[in-house]
């Protein structure tokens, strides 16, 4: 993915996951330096409604607006932080 495009797309993520991918809220996972493939897999699972429990419903709403390219770019951005 394209990390720069990911950064541009990440404004809506930063609200919960922190400006640098380290969240201030115990329930929201850190994304900074996470595995790129895992980030893609998780976002696609949320988008496909394959996750319930915890904040899954919130994340499903967030992910539903993302294209596969957005997902790959966001994963490139956060994994590279």
Q: What angle do CA 72, 75, 79 make, to 5 degrees?
A: 145
Locate 47 and state its tokens: 């988008």
Region binding a second copy by CB under 8 A among candidate stretches 4-12, 45-53, 58-66: 45-53
Query: Interface with a second copy includes 7 (CB under 8 A)?
Result: no
Q: Does 64 bind a second copy (CB under 8 A)?
A: no
Per CB under 8 A, does 53 bind a second copy? yes
- Provide the sign of the torsion angle of the four alpha carbons 10, 11, 12, 13, taken in this order: positive
Which residues in this chain contact a second copy in the complex, by CB under 8 A?
A: 23, 25-30, 33-38, 41-42, 44-45, 48, 50-56
């Amino acid at each position: 993915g394209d990390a720069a495009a990911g950064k541009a797309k990440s404004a809506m993520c930063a609200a919960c996951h922190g400006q640098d991918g380290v969240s201030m809220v115990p329930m929201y996972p850190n994304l900074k330096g996470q595995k790129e493939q895992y980030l893609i897999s998780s976002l696609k699972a949320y988008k496909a409604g394959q996750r319930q429990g915890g904040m899954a419903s919130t994340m499903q709403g967030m992910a539903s607006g993302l294209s596969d390219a957005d997902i790959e770019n966001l994963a490139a951005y956060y994994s590279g932080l």
